[in-house]
């Protein structure tokens, strides 16, 4: 399906489904009908983060790139994107239709592109100059270029505005020096979105600037970080006199906080909308309770229903949010609610499996459906930090959604602080 001509008659949903189905039938295999879950049968893997060796990862990435290029060339790689940038220029309803259809077929994992297309690409579209957008976005959606996000630093995670990585101007270039940490996919990414400090004399939220950097540029050093799960999904990245053209700046100089917010809102929407297992996860937990003979225990049943209830509320909240996005609204602070809801459900799942499995969770007996959950429980703390810690999410919701007073901080003015400093005790 070629990019849509604005002068041509609008394609109908029926036409779209027919053409998309024909493409999928010709290029992928339909999934076999899913069998009903039975305890002890099928794969025994509950880890939150897939721990794969680098060679297997390279092979999976190559297959994912090939599939993405194929569907982009057919007009299904960026369905809502502007036609002048290689997109199909169709309304969001067609993207939903495509996702439903593609989900019926076995296709390579597209998780490699989640950060680049879900967070970095929307920021480029909103803040990059037209030449860079025209150069990068078609290549990103075709998977010729993979993107990553470089925000957190060892001393600036939840308080992102405290970052110290610096960018100094040198004519039509910027020189970047500093360190970033917890960067997913940096080792296979081609470009990265980075926020650096360009003016140390301004208040911390006002002296930041965003850039798109070449991850293969001289001075970029990517090092894997080993996690307590045993894998190395994240990286730390060092910048040593890395040069970036001013044309690859995102937004205005010292206005990088707004650029960062664009990315963060999309990030929280991606994380919160991912779900923690849905109905399938609940089914497995219910089978676990039955297998170990605790399904009649009142406390166990209550914990199991907590998982189900939190999941239902999360799905309804996400549906409302996604309806707003499909209607054209940009992601806002309400995205933090999705992240908070996901964490609550995941925490309930961790509580349930810990109490049900007990020592089986920490000692590998070889029994199906037991020790494999250790990867889930050990991975959960990372999810509480990714995209903003629980505490930061609560502050955002309280201040920007509920309208509560801003929490006093070292960089904010507090009436209580003024009272303490500006008054003299009479006694």
Q: Which residues contact 135 (CB under 8 A, 6 or more apart)?
A: none
Identify the bridge partners of residue 173 per DSSP, sorted by sequence position.
170, 245
Q: CA-to-CA distance for 139 and 373, rounded, in angstroms? A: 38
Q: CA-to-CA distance for 40 and 330, rounded, in angstroms? A: 44
Cα 181 to Cα 44, 146, 379: the distances in Å are 31, 18, 17
Residue with tokens 């001013």: 246
Please indicate whether residue 66 is annotated as part of the active site. Answer: no
Q: Which of 135, 236, 267, 334 is catalytic?
A: 267
- Scored b (16 or more CB within 10 A) or e, 344-356 reads bbbbbbbebbeeb
Contact 24, 101 (CB under 8 A): yes
Q: CA-to-CA distance for 212 and 140, rounded, in angstroms? A: 13
Q: CA-to-CA distance for 273 and 341, rounded, in angstroms? A: 10
Cα 266 to Cα 169, 260, 312: the distances in Å are 29, 10, 22
Contact 195, 255 (CB under 8 A): no
Catalytic residues: 267
């Amino acid at each position: 399906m070629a990019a849509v001509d604005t002068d041509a008659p609008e394609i109908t949903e029926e036409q779209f489904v027919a053409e998309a189905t024909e493409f999928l039938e010709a290029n992928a295999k339909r999934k076999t009908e899913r069998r009903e879950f039975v305890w002890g049968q099928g794969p025994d893997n509950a880890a939150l983060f897939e721990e794969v060796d680098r060679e297997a990862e390279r092979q999976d990435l190559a297959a994912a790139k090939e599939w993405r290029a194929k569907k982009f060339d057919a007009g299904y790689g960026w369905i809502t994107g502007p036609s002048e940038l290689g997109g199909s220029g169709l309304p969001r309803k067609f993207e939903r239709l495509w996702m439903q259809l593609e989900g019926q077929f076995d296709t390579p994992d597209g998780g490699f592109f989640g950060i680049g297309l879900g967070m970095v690409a929307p920021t480029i579209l909103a803040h990059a100059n037209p030449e860079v957008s025209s150069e990068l976005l078609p290549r990103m959606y075709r998977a010729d270029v993979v993107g990553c996000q470089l925000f957190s630093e060892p001393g600036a995670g939840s308080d992102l505005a405290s970052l110290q990585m610096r960018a100094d101007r040198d004519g039509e270039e910027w020189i970047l020096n500093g360190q970033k940490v917890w960067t997913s996919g940096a080792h296979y990414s081609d470009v990265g979105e980075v926020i650096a400090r360009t003016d140390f004399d301004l208040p911390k939220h006002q002296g930041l600037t965003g850039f798109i950097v070449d991850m293969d540029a001289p001075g970029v050093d990517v090092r894997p970080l080993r996690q307590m799960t045993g894998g190395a999904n994240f990286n730390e990245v060092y910048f040593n006199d890395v040069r970036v053209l001013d044309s690859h700046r995102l937004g205005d100089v010292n206005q990088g906080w707004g650029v960062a917010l664009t990315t963060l809102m999309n990030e929280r929407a991606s994380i919160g909308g991912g779900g923690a297992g849905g109905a399938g996860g609940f089914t497995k937990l219910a089978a676990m309770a039955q297998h170990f003979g605790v399904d009649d225990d009142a406390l166990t049943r209550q914990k199991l229903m907590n998982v189900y209830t939190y999941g239902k509320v999360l799905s309804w909240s996400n549906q409302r949010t996604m309806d707003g996005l499909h209607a054209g609204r940009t992601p806002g602070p309400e995205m933090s609610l999705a992240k908070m809801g996901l964490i609550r459900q995941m925490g309930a799942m961790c509580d349930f499996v810990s109490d049900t499995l007990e020592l089986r969770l920490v000692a590998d007996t070889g029994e199906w459906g037991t020790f494999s959950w250790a990867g889930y429980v050990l991975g959960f703390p990372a999810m509480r930090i990714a995209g903003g810690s629980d505490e930061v999410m609560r502050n955002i919701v309280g201040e920007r959604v509920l309208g509560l007073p801003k929490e006093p901080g070292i960089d904010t003015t507090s009436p209580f602080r003024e009272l303490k400093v500006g008054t003299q005790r009479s006694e």
